[in-house]
Amino acid sequence: MNVRRSVKLFIGALVVLPAGYAAYYFRNDIKDIKLPFALPFMQPVEAEQAATPAARPPVAVKVAAAKAEDVPIYLTGIGTIQAYNTVNVQSRVDGEIVQILFQEGQDVKQGDILAVIDPRPFQAQLDQQVAVRQKDQALLDGAQIDMERYDALIQKAAAISRQVVDQQHALVEQYKAQVRNDDAQIEYARTQLGFTSIRAPLSGRLGIRQVDQGNYVRAVSPTTIVTVTQLQPISVIFTLAAVAVGQTRLSLGQTDAPVVALTADSTTELDKGTITLVDNQVDQASGTIKLKATFPNKALKLWPGNFANGRITVDTRKNAITAPAIAVRHGPRGDFVWVAKADDTAAFRPVTVGQIFDGRALIDKGLARGERVVTDGYYRLENGSRITIEGQTPTAKAQPTTQPRSEPRVD
């Protein structure tokens, strides 16, 4: 039995080995042939082919070149809008309000009459002082005539004493002083009469009326009739970190620096103005300092009591490197950009961003002028990824020339 089994194995080997040798030699030609069995020597070739990954297609991207340009350096902060001047209009004399001559919310000019207090008592006081002055002026005129007569008699050595002449001179001076006092009283009475016409102390916009016609007002306990706020120009008080302000050219006291007022989301410009004052002390609790700005507010977009963001120009950096802000990405290790290299591959590049302005980023470190950065399509990039730039004609590449392999003839 063992001899018969050995003979069978020997005959089987004579059949299988030549077939296996032929299959190994023509493995590339018969790889597409469906076999009902898998030979052991064919498995490593199939595994090797399966392990080879397909080449990834290039990533389509958009790029923009870094530029060298003059860049304004900004400080930003939030500010409180304040009226340039605010006045509570009050009465300076006692009396009844007989006329209200304004409408709430009206724009007024300096000197416009807003209300009238009953002027009759003050007109009577003025007339009384005028009459008193006329009486004192008549006494003065008579005393001066007598003084001139006495002076003429004393020069002729007439029967008149020197004492009488001196007394007459003193009387004239007394009447002159009385007349001057009367003039002052008349001016005071005329001023009080003028106060019965309550006028706008400055040009601005009126608020809500707080006293109605017919009410009695007093100067000793003033009651606000209406509030006038000056809106053109208008002021904004910005609060910034004292350390940041100290690193600029701004100094304490009066200054001059351009500033732009923006909405709360810093997207819409409200007005352009000037920083006119840097406060002379720092808030120790917060480490901040106040800056006062003035805006013309011609469009009346700045309202007292509201808030506005400020962008203050404190310097200009010459020939600074800038890139589109959309190209700057933020990672766990800081900011970076994808750089499109000359061989059409993408490279990871860490950068230091100074500030973002008008859609562009100031690059303090990491980029050179003319380098191309990826602005779109960066989500699928890896370091060294092949890229195709949209809008750029691709360079034609030579295709390898291969000779077709002759297939074995099968009879």
Q: Mean pLDDT lowest for which of 144-148, 173-177, 407-411?
A: 407-411
Indicate the residue type of 215.
N
Residue pair 206/100 in contact (Cβ under 8 Å)? The answer is: no
Question: Where would I find the beta strands (DSSP E) of 91-184?
Answer: 95-100, 107-108, 113-117
Task: Say what the alpha-carbon torsion angle 248, 252, 253, 258 is, to the nearest 10 degrees.
Answer: 20
33-90 pLDDT tens trace: 444 444 454 455 444 554 555 567 888 889 999 999 988 888 889 999 999 999 999 9
Residue pair 385/60 in contact (Cβ under 8 Å)? The answer is: no
344-384 pLDDT tens trace: 898 999 999 988 888 889 998 989 999 999 999 878 888 88
pLDDT tops 50 at residue 112: yes
Q: Mean pLDDT lowest for which of 77-86, 189-198, 296-305, 381-390?
A: 381-390
Where in the chain are the domains?
A: 2-50, 61-70+319-389, 74-83+227-316, 119-195
What does the pLDDT read at residue 106?
94
What does the pLDDT read at residue 399?
42
Query: What's the distance, CA 216 to chain centroid?
Result: 47
What does the pLDDT read at residue 149?
87
**Mean pLDDT, rounded, for 279-304:** 93
For domain 61-70+319-389, the CATH architecture is Beta Barrel (2.40)
Q: In the chain, what are the helix, strand and coil shares in percent, each to the nearest 5?
A: 30, 35, 35
315, β-bridge pairs: 73
> Using 50, 70 and 90 to split pLDDT, how confident is the model at 211?
very high
311-339 pLDDT tens trace: 998 888 888 999 999 999 988 888 999 99
Region of 36 please: left (phi>0), alpha (psi -120 to 50) or beta.
alpha
pLDDT tops 70 at residue 11: no
Superfamily grouping for domain 119-195: Helix hairpin bin (1.10.287.470)
CATH number of 74-83+227-316: 2.40.30.170
232-258 pLDDT tens trace: 999 999 999 998 888 888 888 888 899
> Using 50, 70 and 90 to split pLDDT, how confident is the model at 121?
very high
